[in-house]
Amino acid sequence: MNKPGAIVLLMGNEAVARGAIEAGIGVAAAYPGSPSSEVLTTIAGVAKQMNIHAEWSVNEKVAMEVAGGASFAGIRSFCAMKQNGANVAADFLVNANMTGVGDAGMVVFISDDPGGMTSNNEEDSRTITKWLDNPLLEPSSAQEAKEMIKWAYEVSEAVNLVTFVRGVTRISYTKSNVVLGELPEKKEKKAFFPDLWDMYNPKKSKFTSGPFPIFHKPLHEKLEKAREIFERSTFNQYMGPEHPELLIITCGACTSYCTEAVDELKAGEWVGILKLGTTWPLPEKLVAKHLSTTKTVLFVEEMDPFVERNVMELAASLLPATCDLTFYGKRSGHLAPYNEQSTNLVIDALVDILGTTYQARDLSYDEEAKKAIQIVPHRPINMCAGCPHRATFWAVKKALQLDGRKGFVCGDIGCYAMGFTGPGFFQSRTMHAMGSGAGVANGLGNLRQFGFDQPVLAMTGDSTFYHAVLPALVNGVYNNSSFILLILDNSATAMTGFQPHPGTGLLATGDPAKVVDMEAVCRAMGADVRVCDPFDLEDTTKALLSMIKKDGGTRVIIMRHMCQLVKARRKISNKYRMYVDRERCLGDTCGCDNLCTRILGCPGLMVDREISKAAIDEALCVGCGLCADICPSSAIIREEASDE
């Protein structure tokens, strides 16, 4: 591992982790969330070797506070999260910024998700950084991400503020060549919390903010200091002619889209690219210098017109020197403030601005290709073969139908977010933030005085339960809200890569941990609790129905069954070998309307077209046995598999 100069293939998230390790961090805390999850996994993998305390914190705010505590005691600390995490953690930072970090720096890596490829929103976290008043860096590659994380500690310590590094999915999840740097020398890290407190003196009162205007003023002075440092940063680079006809101002992942687009259009003689690595506070002198070299500017960045607005604000302050400038970007409609950017989108914008043409491929081929793909079906995402959530949703659907009062599910974030689509039989009706299913159910469950009597089921995963559902559950019990909380306990944070959580008995490092018993916690809070295995479909449906009928109060059902992917990783196989009895399966003539293949929709089931009957896809079936329970003709046979 300690091979400085070696070139390795690293995912952006691994490069970020390597940067933090090379920077000599002592503490790392995170909550898993794609596209950021692999950062802490990587650090945790070498934590013992490198004398780092690495933890999966229960949520992002706690992670930020854990890192804050370490920094206050003189230990370099690190935090990673996805864009949503920044919202959760912001409240701590808005206060911590009043005083600043300790003598050791603190760096936060936030990975945003343009296009919402691994999220159910696409938020630009840079705006949060700006309203929090923290310095912000944006890497354009895995290599630069590693170098920036290291440098971010110097910035953090120089200006005494938490420093942010913003990634995006394409940075986090792209693997590329990275040159390793040196690992820090092994020396004793000594933590000590300094006894500094003077209510009226921000310089002395390091960790308690006093009268706010007194403490707020130094924050702005620190930002000005960061701006001065950024003016000289080599992470800001210009490529192109001295006086470009068009100046592209870009940052982060978009940098390579711009260089590729300019190459593709062979426009390098006229077009210059100013790549900003330090985006907040804006290095104004540097940007002003480049604005003076051109008459036309195009902004290319992921999501919000963040740099675009900040530069335009600067240009306004420089009037009349900037009065001849024309700006293109999101405001002009050449690029969109939503969805992911790409080289092709930059090419389109350049073609329009430069008045040139571009042909990606042979025209007749293009027509043929477009025609050919008309037969390609949409491939909806699905729960895996053997997923316990499929069984849970089936039982929920059945129980709500039997109850007959138009009950519904308040959904949440995780694999079970598919609850509002086909794989969850369209049972979920709300989906917002982590833990919002339970929160929204609290509100719906207290509408009796307005004649509301629909049963409300709130759904959460096991990791989400600890992250954000605990307060909502307390609230429900306390305010006597009528709803049922379903905890889908599959023994992992499955969606983001099977990270452990407080219910699993494992730490981030793989060491054993105390189990925070969710059943005991729910009971202690005063909720009525049942535990079911969703693959016992009949029992689960009955339990659900009886809970639904028992109106009033906050009730909990824990649906406990291990994630199929975790089983596969642990080499735990299911009990059954499945097959279809072709005599019993009535196919299209059965009144079930393809209940197994069309409605249950497990990837392990398919239609044998030659005979129009159901069949098991042996390449995908894992033998969970669920389909045998739903076939009205009992044509799907569950055979005890022999141990091989």
Partner 1 sequence: MSRKTLRKEPFNLIISGVGGQGNVLLSAFVGAALLNEGFMVSVADTFGVSQRGGSVTSHIKISKKTLYSSVTLDGKADVILGMEPVETLRALGEFGNPHVVVIVNPRPIYPSGGATYPDLDKVKQAITKLSSKTKFVNATEEALKMGNPIYTNIILLGSLVGAEVLPISKETMIPILEERFPGKLLDANIKAFGKGMELIANA
Residues engaged in binding partner 1 (CB under 8 A)? 7-9, 34-35, 117-119, 141, 143, 169-170, 173-177, 253, 256-257, 260, 264, 342-344, 347, 360-362, 365-366, 368-370, 372-373, 375-384, 415, 417-418, 422-423, 495, 594, 597-599, 601-603, 606-607, 617-620
Closest-CA residue to 139 (of 288, 339, 278): 278
Smallest gap from residue 380 Cβ to partner 1 (A): 6
Closest-CA residue to 564 (of 606, 601, 595, 604): 604
Smallest gap from residue 563 Cβ to partner 1 (A): 11
Q: Which residue lies nearer to partner 1 by CB, 72 or 173?
A: 173
Smallest gap from residue 315 Cβ to partner 1 (A): 28
The answer to whether residues 484 and 408 touch, using CB atoms and an 8 Å cutoff, is no
Smallest gap from residue 286 Cβ to partner 1 (A): 24
Quick one: which H or E segment has residue 556? strand 554-560
- The answer to whether the Cα torsion of 498, 504, 509, 512 is positive or negative is negative
Quick one: which H or E segment has residue 522? helix 518-524
Q: Which residue lies nearer to partner 1 by CB, 162 or 418?
A: 418
Quick one: which H or E segment has residue 613? strand 613-616
The answer to whether residues 500 and 492 touch, using CB atoms and an 8 Å cutoff, is yes
Closest-CA residue to 517 (of 549, 558, 548): 558
Smallest gap from residue 257 Cβ to partner 1 (A): 5
Smallest gap from residue 345 Cβ to partner 1 (A): 10
The answer to whether residues 273 and 298 touch, using CB atoms and an 8 Å cutoff, is no
Q: Which residue lies nearer to partner 1 by CB, 406 or 609?
A: 609
Q: Which residue lies nearer to partner 1 by CB, 209 or 490?
A: 490
Q: Which residue lies nearer to partner 1 by CB, 12 or 283?
A: 12
| Separation in Å, CA 205 to CA 66, 103, 196, 542 | 20, 13, 5, 60
Residues recorded for the chain = 644
How does DSSP classify residue 277? Answer: S
Report CA Rg, the chain. 28
Q: Which residue lies nearer to partner 1 by CB, 127 or 176?
A: 176
* Phi, psi angles (nearest 5°) of residue 509: -80, -5
Q: Which residue lies nearer to partner 1 by CB, 101 or 596?
A: 596
Smallest gap from residue 610 Cβ to partner 1 (A): 12
Q: Which residue lies nearer to partner 1 by CB, 131 or 365?
A: 365
Query: How many Cβ atoms are within 10 Å of 309's Cβ, its own excluded?
Result: 16
Smallest gap from residue 124 Cβ to partner 1 (A): 18
Residues 83-96 as b/e (b if ≥16 CB within 10 A, e otherwise) read bbbbbbbbebbeeb
238 Cβ contact partners less than 8 Å away, ≥ 6 residues apart = 272, 273, 274, 275, 290
Residues 517-529 as b/e (b if ≥16 CB within 10 A, e otherwise) read ebbebbeebebeb
Q: Which residue lies nearer to partner 1 by CB, 174 or 293?
A: 174
Q: Which residue lies nearer to partner 1 by CB, 95 or 597?
A: 597
Q: Which residue lies nearer to partner 1 by CB, 319 or 376?
A: 376
How does DSSP classify residue 239? Answer: E
Smallest gap from residue 263 Cβ to partner 1 (A): 9
Query: How many Cβ atoms are within 10 Å of 360's Cβ, its own excluded?
Result: 9
Smallest gap from residue 218 Cβ to partner 1 (A): 40
Type of residue at 541: T
Smallest gap from residue 415 Cβ to partner 1 (A): 7
* Strand 636-640, strand 53-56: pairing: unpaired
